[in-house]
Structure 1
């Protein structure tokens, strides 16, 4: 190990195994092989539930809102989800292989300190999604049951905080419980819709429009692409020898099936019932099946969304601690995770309570900008992992600015800048800004696609001069140290 290593790299095993029901002991540090207790079978259901709530239903409103018919909305949404989930699923395979949170691994492309550039975008996105989720839940529950928005905000925030504090295992556990509770309800509703028992009009407006079709595709694709910065956070407890294809398949199937299902449901609600609010529409369609069913399925969807907020908070904590550690050595203790999470929870609660209806439009625009910021990162990270370094990294060097990856990754940062600035003429931010090229193509949002291609090509060209063979000695040294850590008996380490 390098002598100028920070205190983040700690080869000692956790004092308490993270799989015995307590607070998780690992955060931004490496997960040793003996603590890898995850199972591939858990990845599919986990990401299935991640999209199994009424926020996903609202994605199905995009096409109909622009005049797209039900059939074309479902087709476009399906294609978009399948495309966007590919990026998410390939990132998932990195967690098991490296045993690290996603943003720590990104130091290989952007540098030990340079990674802060993308950390800022990811942190804002995590907090932003929790703000949007909170406001949507608060307004929906007030409209349906008359519940106090303040009480809903506090209650869901405390639940998300608790899940994030306990961490990886409890998130997987609660997601499984919520899936068992909500899946039968959505099956009943879907069967009722197909049999005509959920109401709805037979005749509905809508036709084909290339602009609307492209907008629905972009919204659906970007929905799962935004999972890319943190999907590895939840696969890093899988055994290192787990087949990448198994992980990719499990995540892809889980995240895509639920999203396609609920986007199609949202399209039906929008075209057949004229719905514009996901939760209210879910409530109305449920009650059309039988009285009280609407409340049941709405609350199940709220529970799934609150659990997803815990997922966002957990990864936001990892992101913030990684950022701090990039400039000031941080020992990843339970105290630092709890303090960070309390601060993040207070932040999204304050913003949520201060927002008005118009402010939500501003926030959605900000989240779109964050997507534009994240897309170049995902392109660079995947190209580096699968084509440049082919999964071979000196893990211990990711924990020091003096390692082989350096403090500032010039190639990664430059490719990122080129990719992002190339998207500006394609920006589509309704009511705020539409790029010159976007105006010429009818306001179709393809900025994210431009960012993906340009960033990937730029990074590939820049890394042609990178001598990856020179990294071999550091990788071998790192593997020796990891092997030594893996062979150490838990009992000898006081576990």
Structure 2
């Protein structure tokens, strides 16, 4: 198992040639390499939503006739609900020291996890395509910059962030956080005091379709972070209390999203905005000349950093998929070449994608949400209710799947049933509307149905799981890790059992 046998001294030796570039990827992070603070998780995920892409989520309700007030209420409900699922995944990184998709082998099997990997892969690529098209169109509209040049520069910068990896991303996000926060505080203050322009509200209506639609858009926005949130907490010390990580991510990711979605709703209802970056520029310049350009560029940098985040986790997804069929030594070279390939792919698609194709891309991402929601339900039920954080880590890297097998029927069946249950409730505007969704007035609750059904089915199927039989494998796994890395998981520091997390 080469991905587990890389020692700390070997990591240090390999890192000396290309200082600062992360060496680890899909392999286990041992206790003696853990670093970082849980306090950094809040600002990190705050910044992840603190850019103009989030503002566009605030256009959903007003575009369907929903007033600013009702859009704000729907955004708060949706974001808090969606972030809850995202935040619970964050504790898995510190507890296990693994990327999210490697841990998912326990629920779906060594090869079975590739079913989920397809959905996450398309989501990461899709988001970066959408981000690129929006950035290029917005910067072209504001400054007249060449779209092709913008696309290429964005790809290079975000790919470099991903290549340097985990610590680099945390540093860039922290810098962007401290730059962006005061700018948005000034802009928000100007809006509240009437110094950011705007007119009387032109949209003052309410409908359940629009209200529930805004809830769904807001909830899905943060749920899509679920497949990779633990990728950025896996270097935290293992004695970090799960509740601390969960709350840090919950507060960070939800507060910025709620803030900017409401800001987007104001821009839509007061300025008639349809382009988040252009509207941000206009509102900022109304405060004082040039301020709009500063705010817009800060938002652009934050979104480019988030694209680096997507590229990094996309790399982990691809390497996990390859390793599932052909055992892989996850070297730094493999990381770099994979990220370059990913960047080339989303750049090529972006250059061929006209700005009016964004609606189709969003529809594609909605389908990916339907694919990801059953996974997050199965994963969380397994981690918190069934196995309660206890896994044989070395078995997750065994080509035969160890105690988890090549294909796990419980997880795969729950996932399939959960996904199929969404179809009658699904809504893809202009493409497909399920029969039950049509009866509900085209209100999209498919993702919520998939969440409940897949989680419930997996909980029922797992009642026959023999957890006692796994205890021996877990003990042997910890001993093996101790031999390879000097300490077994949790030996260097006291780790609270998952059963005691909430005490």
| TM-score, length of structure 1 as denominator length | 0.96
Other-structure match for 1:415: 414
SS at match of 1:326: helix
Per-residue deviation, 1:481: 2.2
In structure 2, do the counterparts of structure 1 residues 206 and 9 end up closer, same or farther at CA, with 3 Å as the change threshold?
Answer: same
Per-residue deviation, 1:488: 6.5
SS at match of 2:198: coil
Distance 2:245 2:234 in 1: 11
Distance 2:245 2:168 in 1: 20
| 2:23/2:331 contact within 8 Å kept | yes
| 1:19/1:169 contact within 8 Å kept | no
Per-residue deviation, 1:439: 0.6
Other-structure match for 2:129: 131
Distance 1:407 1:459 in 2: 18
> How many residues align structurally?
484
Other-structure match for 1:294: 292
Per-residue deviation, 1:350: 0.3
Other-structure match for 2:454: 455
SS at match of 2:477: helix
| 1:8/1:325 contact within 8 Å kept | no
* Deviation digits for residues 262-300 of structure 1 (CA, Å, limit 9, x no counterpart): 001001101111111100100000000011001000000
Distance 1:149 1:31 in 2: 40
Other-structure match for 2:495: none
Matched, 1:476 2:484: no
Other-structure match for 1:492: none
| 1:26/1:332 contact within 8 Å kept | yes
* Deviation digits for residues 53-72 of structure 1 (CA, Å, limit 9, x no counterpart): 00000000111111111111
Matched, 1:7 2:5: no
* Deviation digits for residues 80-115 of structure 1 (CA, Å, limit 9, x no counterpart): 000000000000000000000000000000000000
Per-residue deviation, 1:446: 0.4
Matched, 1:436 2:435: yes
Runs ≥4 residues deviating over 6 A: none
Other-structure match for 2:445: 446
Distance 1:140 1:205 in 2: 24
1:358-397 matched pairs, under 5 angstroms: 358-397=356-395
SS at match of 2:8: coil
SS at match of 2:10: coil
Gaps of at least 5 residues in structure 2 are 489-503
Other-structure match for 1:185: 183
| 1:189/1:289 contact within 8 Å kept | yes
The farther-off stretch of 224-233 and 361-370 is 361-370
Matched, 1:161 2:156: no
Gaps of at least 5 residues in structure 1 are 1-5, 490-495
1:38-77 matched pairs, under 5 angstroms: 38-77=36-75
Distance 1:472 1:228 in 2: 28
Per-residue deviation, 1:10: 1.9
In structure 2, which of residues 321, 324, 332 is the aligned counterpart of residue 334 of structure 1?
332
Per-residue deviation, 1:200: 1.0
1:169-208 matched pairs, under 5 angstroms: 169-208=167-206
Distance 1:227 1:215 in 2: 19
Distance 1:306 1:35 in 2: 28
Distance 1:93 1:340 in 2: 27
* Deviation digits for residues 368-399 of structure 1 (CA, Å, limit 9, x no counterpart): 00000000000000000001111000000000
SS at match of 1:113: coil
Distance 1:475 1:19 in 2: 31
| TM-score, length of structure 2 as denominator length | 0.94
Other-structure match for 2:501: none
Per-residue deviation, 1:11: 4.9
SS at match of 1:345: helix
| 2:46/2:253 contact within 8 Å kept | yes
Distance 1:488 1:396 in 2: 14
In structure 2, which of residues 92, 97, 101 is the aligned counterpart of residue 103 of structure 1?
101
Per-residue deviation, 1:356: 1.3
| 1:32/1:99 contact within 8 Å kept | yes
Distance 2:363 2:67 in 1: 25
Matched, 1:310 2:308: yes
